[in-house]
């Protein structure tokens, strides 16, 4: 699940959510523009930037990183991007760095190099599963919580959010944007469901046709199909090698598993090559 694009779209549509996560007044969002910016050296890109839109040197700019997979190199890359950005653009505002994790277990601190830096007040680390009840009271932050909701309860949680949005969000455009993001998260979390099933689940009268939603749906479906295909190939490989080890001929294995003879032969040849290489190493 590519959670970074989900979060960046939430921040794009509901920028006050970011400031709510930091415990800052939602009104602060009116002073910022959420964007991304390329750092030409080494082809770096800061994917999440809240840049002040008013010339107040007291206002910080925020670098935002969403990290849902363990990455021992994250802080090496992130600090490199930050300081190259400072060198290239020399912004007239102080910096703040915000890293969002699903939980503490995902973080890789690299204490040997960054322990002191991570303790700076300029750096905030947010662990979504540790947000308090008061912090998660607003609908947009509940939307963020949905990202880490277990799959077996995500459906009911999403339905409740959709109903709550219909009641609490009076602005039609804001409500549609919220539902778009809600649908997108559900498509990511439950890729086995079709667009029609997602719409029926949320009891929506129409299916969202935004380009972003269409791209996300196609991407998730492609990932699900690729995963299913990889799992099928692995099962076939295990079955082929098991039957070959029992003395069955390649043609018989292909007939039994309803596979092309060439595919069965290629898998056996590859396995024999791997065994030979391991034997040489030992």
pLDDT in tens, 136-147: 677 888 888 888
- 207 falls in which pLDDT band (50, 70, 90)? very low
From 83, 85, 76, select the one nearest 37 (Cα to Cα).
85
Q: Where are the beta strands (DSSP E) in the chain?
A: 32-39, 44-52, 61-66, 95-101, 123-127
pLDDT tens-digit series, residues 34-66:
988 766 555 566 778 999 999 899 999 999 999
Percentage of residues in the chain having pLDDT higher than 70: 88
Rounded CA gap, 11 and 98, in Å? 13
pLDDT surpassing 60 at residue 190: yes
- What's residue 217's pLDDT? 62
Q: Which residues share a beta bridge with 61?
A: 95
Task: Indicate the CATH number for domain 1-131.
Answer: 3.40.1350
pLDDT tens-digit series, residues 218-267:
766 677 777 778 888 888 888 898 888 888 888 888 888 888 999 889 99
| Number of alpha helices (DSSP H) and beta strands (DSSP E) in the chain | 11, 5
pLDDT tens-digit series, residues 158-168:
888 888 888 88
Starting at the earlier edge strand, list the strands of the sheet with 123-127: 32-39, 44-52, 61-66, 95-101, 123-127
């Amino acid at each position: 699940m590519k959670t970074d694009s989900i979060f960046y779209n939430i921040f794009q549509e509901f920028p006050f959510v970011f400031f709510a996560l930091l415990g800052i007044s939602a009104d602060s969002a009116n002073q910022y523009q959420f964007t991304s910016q390329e750092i030409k050296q080494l082809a770096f890109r800061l994917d999440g930037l809240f840049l002040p839109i008013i010339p107040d040197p007291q206002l910080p700019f925020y670098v935002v990183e969403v990290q849902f997979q363990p990455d021992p190199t994250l802080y090496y890359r992130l600090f490199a991007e930050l300081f190259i950005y400072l060198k290239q653009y020399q912004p007239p505002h102080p910096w703040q760095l915000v890293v969002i994790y699903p939980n503490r277990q995902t973080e890789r601190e690299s204490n040997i190099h960054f322990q002191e830096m991570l303790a700076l007040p300029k750096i905030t680390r947010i662990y979504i599963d540790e947000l308090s009840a008061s912090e998660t009271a607003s609908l947009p932050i509940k939307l963020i919580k949905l990202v880490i909701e277990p799959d077996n309860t995500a459906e009911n949680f999403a339905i409740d959010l959709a109903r709550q949005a219909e009641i609490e969000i009076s602005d039609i455009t804001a409500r549609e944007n919220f539902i778009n993001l809600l649908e997108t998260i559900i498509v990511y979390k439950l890729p086995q469901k079709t667009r029609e099933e997602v719409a029926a689940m949320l009891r929506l009268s129409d299916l969202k046709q935004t380009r972003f939603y269409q791209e996300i749906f196609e991407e998730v479906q492609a990932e699900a199909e690729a995963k299913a295909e990889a799992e099928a190939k692995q099962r076939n490989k295990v079955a082929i090698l098991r039957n070959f080890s029992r003395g069955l001929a390649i043609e018989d294995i292909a007939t039994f598993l309803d596979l092309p003879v060439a595919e069965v032969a290629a898998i056996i040849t590859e396995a024999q090559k791997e065994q030979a290489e391991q034997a040489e190493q030992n």
